[in-house]
Structure 1
Amino acid sequence: MALAGDERPLVEVLTADGSVARSYSYRRIVGAAAAVAAALRAHPVRPRGPRPDGDPTDPAQLQVGVVTANGPEFLVADFAVLGAGAAEVVVPLAFTAEQTAAMLADIDVCLADEAGVRRLREWGLDKVLPPDAELRVLDIEQDPSGTGPLFTEPDAGDRLCKIIHTSGTTSKPKGVCIREAALEELIGSLRSAMPADAYRRYLSLVPMSLLIEQVTAVYLVVCDGGTVVLLPPEVPLVGTSSFAPRAVLPHIRAARPTALVVTPALAEALLTAADDARAARREPVPALFGRAEAPLVCCGGAPVDADTLRRLDSSGIPVHEGYGLSENSSVVSWNTPAARRLGSVGAPLPHVRVRTAPDGELLVKSTSLFAGYKGGDDPSGCVVDEDGWLHTGDLADIEDGYIWIKGRKKSVIITAAGRNVAPEWVEAQYRSHPAVLAVAVVGDGLPGLHGLFLVDPRASLDTVRAELDALGRERLSEVERVEVAHLVPADESLHAEFFTVTGRPRRSAVQTALTAGRFG
């Protein structure tokens, strides 16, 4: 790494009042990573049996679990695993013990920070770690002087570098195997598409266990010689709590970012804050971002209501929607400041080709496709056909080179009356209500649509119910409107039970709960 001796800050951690509590230079992070990488290179690989058909993992390659919060320790662990030529298995702290055990079943070493160690103990060390796997606690404060180089071997080409979690048909997550060369292709393509130096000061708001956050908060920042700014440890990350979007707003202003990735819920919270600023006769951009120019705001995971995007635009805050999936090493397409179509997820990145199948499914071919699933083919996973096209499972239109996502093939609701509804669009409309912190729409086999609405506890449920009814009549057809609305005050446990970190509903869990009468 050319930046190994650089004293510029790579990581800044904010305090509750917005000042910088701790700062870590490139030299310190890379030096600490080099020391860990040296230990990993010397670590033996556990004996493993033959892999199932279709499993691309190498039994002779070291596998390293990473269990950390969003902190400088994650960067140390990530760089160390890459430098050692091992396969990295990042586990979200929000996982259950069963999910964690499934992801860590083959690891040789587990790297953890203090938060990770606490979570491992909550899960039960003997339940989630293989009996002969070493637990190594990361010490970011150690002096990096005298350590050797981080990378000691030439580029490995098609060597696996990551095994990324993504949801499967059961409680056990799928392990998406990412090739080192594929990740490099993706990063190079993103750098050519995005504005120069956009990531010189990036605010990380979502868990780094997500591949897209690793790409944007770590690799693009390093490519720009920039700084990643981290929230205070006590502030919830977006996607882990229904209350997080509003909780992070003061820290966005304090961080003065040049770039950040937001979820649809945070985009709605930004709009409410912008409206409040205008009502107070303040300019929205400096009020929200602490700087005169709006940062590069990117969004993905679920659609944002088009009216929300237009209103943010009118406040000088363009939001650039994108689309991706782990099976393409994250990003497939993204709107950019130079090429943007409101409501679309942008044009494909330069290294990506797209087309639609006769049934409207989006197909992707690129040089950053995954190597396969750990454990072999998964019945709920994406399929790569014999011509090299990845079948994404998403329905889309392609117009003038831009992609318009219509919904998930498997998510299309077929009501008892035989009517087909794409729930993502419906949810985007209801989510535009400022009191709705999360919403999931279901209805397979039911006479009409049911909706689970997690509502701001400060709001009147009766008032919100009436306003949602009016919103549905105004924006949605009769078939698309929620007939039975289940409104409950939001809390973190409900959010974790019924929504993923990226805000996507866990529809089967929602439908089971609603049809069982759990919420009346």
Structure 2
Amino acid sequence: MREFTVPPLATAPRVGGLADSVYDNAAADPERVALTRKDDEGQWQDVTAAQFRDEVMALAKGLLAQGVRFGDRVGIMSRTRYEWTLFDFALWSVGAQSVPLYPTSSAEQVFWMLHNADVTACLVEHEDHAMTIGSVIDRLPHLRKLWQLDADPVAELTAAGAHMEDEVVHRHRMAVTPEATATIIYTSGTTGRPKGCVITHANFMAESDNIVLRYERVFKSKAGEEAATLLFLPLAHVFGRMVQVAAIRGRVKLAHQPELVARALLPDLQTFRPTFILAVPYIFEKVFAAARRKAEADGKVGAFDKAVEIAVRYAEAQENKAFGTGSGPSASLRMQHQIFDKLVYSKVREAMGGRVRHAMSGGSAMERRLGLFFAGAGVIIYEGYGLTESTAAATANPPERTRYGTVGVPVPGTTVHLAEDGEIWLYGGQVFQGYHNDPKATDAVLHDGWFSTGDLGAVDEDGYLTITGRKKEVLVTSGGKTVSPVPLEERVRAHPLVAQCIVVGNDRPFIAALVTLDPEAVTHWLAMRGKPEMPPHDLVRDPDLETEIRRAVVAANTLVSQAESIRTFRILAHQFSEEHGLLTPSLKLKRKAIETAYSAEVDALYRG
């Protein structure tokens, strides 16, 4: 089969918009804790459903008082924080549309998005963002208002709207229909200008409601425990926005963390103690790497690696049982697993707060062995696949039959079709309406409701999808060999010392790679071997380090034929960064930009 459909679980609402859930939740259970936010001392403070409704209402009145009107577009340039969610639902309460801007966007990118979306007001986090917009404001004649979060615009707007009756907001809210635009999210864009994806209230409802119902064991609390999640994904990205909407609509306690780095995130996981998280593979890789480094520093790396082996075997045996190809873990394996649960797995879970038993992962591929390890350690990660144009997840692994290393089956209400060339096409209530002000680009990808993703995939006998690459990223060597770089790159990245890997070789005689290093892992590796700290340019020439990276490359080459294998590689002194225009805000490689920036290094790989 090349087409798979899963019927919807949620009924598509015929009236109303996303803000309605805030008011409905408060009416149904006003004292339920809806969100949690940090106070000035860094302590978590609960916000009830009634409090959140009142704050949304007060802010909505202030927005109206300061000239925001039904259908207006308001930019938001900020990291993930409580106020973003507050503004989103206040804007939706008055029928306005939010336009997320990545906080690391350049002045020209900001100009393009604000101009293209015809934004009339903008919320920024701090003065640097205000200055970025200020540098292009003379080219934005329709931008009338600029609010700055660190100047407390919530208080300013609340005061401005204090004279207004609640009924004015309710009249605006009642005029919102499911088909109305909720947001325009600009694709992070690995090539070219970002395109504005028009996403409706109905798109978000179809996505979040079906996922909450299908993954009830994730989004609902068990007896005596409230469901809670810590949102640390960028709210400028569709995955983060979907989590926000699903938490409010699914009545899950929601907290925010603005920094997607392990050193800031792990302490908040331990104090907030979520019951589930939604993340990108990078987070799980960091948790695993930190646990292994600690074990090695304590002289217990042998026991840790044995625990990893047992966890993988245990999860694999459970997977085989779920698919009817095995009887489950043996008595001996269960006993070993129980021992390591106390010694190792419980500590891994504690690093994530101690209560996490489920997680969802998207954005890029997760190595199968890593998913098996976490499942064996008591945290089941449901890997999925989606795009901005599909309002986040289009496929995901089902809770009762997770196949690690795949992105699962269609989420309810979705049809997945594989074209003859392997391209993935999607159809469902979450598929976007098109690109704002770009009918040519829209016509290129939307065909009678079907969205042609540009991604390539394969489906196994049970209907589970695996992403094999992107059509535009497939390499063709000068000898005519076609190579998808993603599987090779992901396998190289599985090595603890590797931060990033890009495979090159288009119109070249063979495949090669550029590799960057993880600084924390390298520092630990040097210390464990009694080597002194080295400047980056000396470090990359260290023969022992080169041997380690060569092991990662050899492991990757086992996935492919000799003609498709990485023949040579180069270790770079510095990571690819978003600041230098080499990564998208969602941490995807900008391949052309990297090959241009490192053209001398790429050319050197093919000399001689």
Task: Please give the per-residue CA displacement for 1:92-146, whole angstroms capped at 9, x wherever unaligned.
Answer: 101111111111114353242543x531213435448722422242634577988
Which of 347, 352, 355 is matched with 1:284 structurally? 347
Q: Which runs of 5+ in 2 are unaligned?
A: 1-22, 221-226, 305-342, 523-538
After TM superposition, the structure 1 = structure 2 runs for residues 213-362 of structure 1, keeping only pairs within 5 Å, are 213-216=240-243, 218-231=244-257, 236-237=259-260, 244-245=261-262, 247-275=264-292, 279=300, 281-282=343-344, 283-291=346-354, 293-362=355-424
Contact 1:72 1:140 (8 Å CA) reproduced: no
- The one of 77, 85, 104 equivalent to 2:95 is 85
Aligned pair 1:393/2:393, yes or no?
Answer: no
Whether 1:110 and 2:121 are equivalent positions in the alignment is yes
Q: Report the CA distance between 1:354 and its aligned residue.
A: 1.1
Contact persistence 1:66–1:112 (CA under 8 A): yes
User: After the TM superposition, which of the residue ranges 248-257 and 353-362 deviates more from structure 2?
Assistant: 248-257
Amino acid in the other structure paired with 1:121: M
Partner of 2:36: 12
**Counterpart secondary structure, 1:221:** helix
- Taking the aligned partners of 1:133 and 1:375, their CA distance within structure 2 comes to 18
Distance in structure 1 (CA, Å) of the matches to 2:481 and 2:263: 36
Is the contact between residue 442 and residue 510 of structure 1 (CA under 8 Å) also seen in structure 2? no
Inter-partner Cα distance in structure 1 for 2:554 and 2:585: 30
Structure 2: which amino acid aligns with 1:290? Answer: G
TM-score of the pair, normalised by structure 2: 0.73
| Residues 1:287 and 1:30: Cα distance change in structure 2 (over 3 Å) | same
What is the distance in 2 between the residues matched to 1:13 and 1:159? 30
Higher deviation after alignment, 200-209 or 248-257 = 248-257
Distance change >3 Å, CA 412–CA 492, structure 1 → 2: closer
Identify which of 105, 129, 147 aligns with 1:119: 129
Shift of 1:335: 1.4
Q: Matched residues in 1 for 2:422 and 2:190: separation? A: 23
Shifted more, 496-505 versus 391-400: the winner is 496-505
- Give the conservation status (yes or no) of the 8 Å contact 2:191–2:592: no
Corresponding letter in the other structure for 1:112: L
Which structure dedicates a bigger proportion of its chain to helix?
Answer: 2
Is structure 2 residue 420 aligned with structure 1 residue 410?
no
Which digits, 9 at most, give the CA deviation of each residue in 1:157-206, with x for residues without a partner? Answer: 31111111104475521000012222211122111211246263111222
What does residue 56 of structure 1 align with?
none
User: 1:483 corresponds to which residue?
Assistant: 567
Query: How far apart are the structure 1 equivalents of 2:442 and 2:510?
Result: 27
2:369 and 2:430 map into 1 onto residues whose CA distance is 33
* Per-residue deviation, 1:341: 1.1
Query: What residue in structure 2 maps to residue 53 of structure 1?
Result: none
- Per the alignment, residue 54 of structure 1 pairs with none
Contact 1:97 1:127 in 2 (8 A): no
1:465 match: 546
Answer yes or no: is 1:508 the counterpart of 2:518: no
User: Residue by residue, what CA displacement relative to the aligned partner does 1:65-103 show, whole Å, maximum 9, x if unpaired?
Assistant: 122221121012100221111222111101111111111
Corresponding residue of 1:51: none
Residue 25 of structure 2 is matched in structure 1 by 3
Q: Contact 1:335–1:346 (CA<8 Å) still a contact in 2?
A: yes
**Alpha-carbon distance in structure 1 between the residues aligned to 2:135 and 2:35:** 30
Please tell me the residue identity of whatever aligns with 2:184: I
For 2:68 and 2:90, the matched residues in 1 are separated by 16
1:379 Cα deviation from its structure 2 partner = 4.6
Q: For residue 377 of structure 1, report the CA deviation from its aligned partner.
A: 3.2
Q: CA deviation at 1:210?
A: 0.8
Distance in 2 (alpha carbons) for counterparts of 1:321 and 1:496: 30
How many residue pairs were aligned? 493
SS in 2 for 1:220: helix
Partners of 1:420 and 1:90 lie apart in 2 by: 37
Question: Secondary structure in 2 aligned to 1:85?
Answer: coil
CA contact (8 A) 1:421 1:480 kept: yes
Identical aligned residues as a percent: 25
TM-superposed CA distance for 1:492, in Å, is 7.7
Distance 1:379 1:443 in 2: 29
Instruction: State the shift of 1:154 in Å.
Output: 4.6
The TM-score, its normalising length taken from structure 1, stands at 0.85
| Contact 2:137–2:143 (8 Å) recurs in 1 | no
Q: What is the CA-CA distance between 1:39 and the residue it aligns to?
A: 4.5
Q: How far is 1:262 from its partner?
A: 1.9
CA contact (8 A) 2:198 2:434 kept: yes
Structure 1 gap ranges (5+): 47-59, 238-243
Tell me if structure 1 keeps the 8 A contact 2:287–2:348. Answer: no
Larger Rg: 2
1:301-352 superposed Cα distances (whole Å, 9 cap, x missing partner): 1111222222223322322110001112221011132231111111101110
Report the Cα distance in structure 1 between the residues aligned to 2:291 and 2:145, rounded to whole angstroms: 46
Displacement of 1:12: 3.0
Shift of 1:41: 4.6
Q: 1:40 to 1:502 in 2, by over 3 A?
A: same
Shift of 1:253: 2.6
Residue deviations 1:390-419, cap 9 Å, x none?
Answer: 111111122322211111111111122222
Q: Which amino acid aligns with 2:547?
A: A
- 1:190 is the counterpart of 2:211: yes
SS of the equivalent of 2:141 reads coil
Give the counterpart of 2:490 among 413, 422, 428.
428
Residue 166 (structure 2) aligned to one of 148, 171, 184: 148
Contact 2:82 2:255 (C-alpha < 8 Å) held by counterparts: no
Measured at CA, do residues 404 and 16 of structure 1 come closer, stay the same or move farther in structure 2, by a change above 3 Å?
Answer: farther
Aligned twin of 1:208: 235
**3-state SS, counterpart of residue 119 of structure 1:** helix
